[in-house]
Structure 1
Amino acid sequence: MNNPTADNLAIAALVLVWLLSRQLTERPLRERSPVGLVLIVIGAVETGWYVTAYPLTWRDGALVAASLAAGVLLAAVRAFTVRLSVREGRIMRQGTALTAALWILGLGQHFLIDTAVAAQLGAVTVLFYFGVVLLAQQLVLVRRAAVAGLTGR
């Protein structure tokens, strides 16, 4: 029999490995990236299915929102651990070991909500979480590049 929670955790682990490999590899900084939006949509659909079967309490919703807020704050901090440079007229970005550590810390704080909310809600909402914090980090990185005068070269 399929275990949706185990499936979500396996998918979350794969997404985390994929995100970390992309974060730690030097790549061009794009102003817009569809990855965060795709993760939000998939995560919202999964969360919607879950909530249909297991209605959330006000407290559950508040704790998920608090986890997202903490994740966005960590994403903003994490964005300042990413190195920005210019190569051949393109803005390049590359995360550091601290970037990776902050990703893991953020994911850990998100899964902490499972200790206080409806069963496995952290696992169910993890893709939504990844999408939100990825977009937040991207916004801060693009703003950092603009403030540093790296855009428009």
Structure 2
Amino acid sequence: MNNPTTTNLAITAVVLLWLLSRQLVERPLREKSPVGLVLIVIGAVETGWYVTSHPLSWRDGALVVASLAVGVLLAAMRAFTVRLSVRGGRVVRQGTVLTAVLWVLGLGQHFLIDTEVAAELGAVTVLFYFGVVLLAQQLVLVRRAAVAGLAGR
């Protein structure tokens, strides 16, 4: 039997592990990365399908928006836990253990909405959540590199 919640949780675990593996290794800092946008699009489509058959109350919608706002705040904080340096003339980034902890905390707070909103809403909106917070973190990292004079090297 195919349980949508189990499938969503499995996809969430895979995406989280993939994101953490990319966050914790030294990688070039790109000004633009399509990953966040791809996750937003996939998440928006999945969320749209869900809400067509499970109408949300204004309270459910407000709680999802609140979770996204908290996620963006955590993403901005998380960006300051990432080390920036220059290697071979390129700006590189590497997350720390605290970066990983903040990813897990952010995901945890997002899934807390499942305790207060329509069933499975946290699992359904998680890819959208990942995309939004990944883009927020990226924007802060690029800004940090520019302010530190690392950009353009």
TM bucket normalised to smaller: over 0.9
Secondary structure of 1:72 counterpart: helix
Which residue in 2 is equivalent to 1:130? 130
Superposed, 1:132-147 pairs within 5 Å as: 132-147=132-147
Which residue in 2 is equivalent to 1:65? 65
Unaligned runs of 5+ in 2: none
The percent identity for this pair of structures is 86
Secondary structure of 1:30 counterpart: coil
Q: How many residues align?
A: 153
Greater than 3 Å deviation, 4+ residue runs: none
Secondary structure of 2:118 counterpart: coil
Give per-residue Cα distances to partners, 1:115-151, cap 9 Å, x unaligned: 0000010000000000000000000000000000001
Give, in angstroms, the shift of residue 60 of structure 1: 0.2
Unaligned runs of 5+ in 1: none
Which residue in 2 is equivalent to 1:89? 89
State the superposition RMSD in angstroms.
0.4
Give, in angstroms, the shift of residue 5 of structure 1: 1.1
Matched residues in 1 for 2:150 and 2:73: separation? 24
Give, in angstroms, the shift of residue 2 of structure 1: 1.2
Matched residues in 2 for 1:12 and 1:130: separation? 9
Give per-residue Cα distances to partners, 1:18-50, cap 9 Å, x unaligned: 000000000000000000000000000100010
1:48 matches 2:48: yes
**Counterpart residue type for residue 43 of structure 1:** G
Which residue in 2 is equivalent to 1:15? 15
Superposed, 1:30-41 pairs within 5 Å as: 30-41=30-41
Which residue in 2 is equivalent to 1:80? 80
Which residue in 2 is equivalent to 1:24? 24
**Counterpart residue type for residue 40 of structure 1:** I
**Counterpart residue type for residue 22 of structure 2:** R
Secondary structure of 2:149 counterpart: coil
Secondary structure of 2:44 counterpart: helix
State TM-score, norm by structure 2.
Answer: 0.99
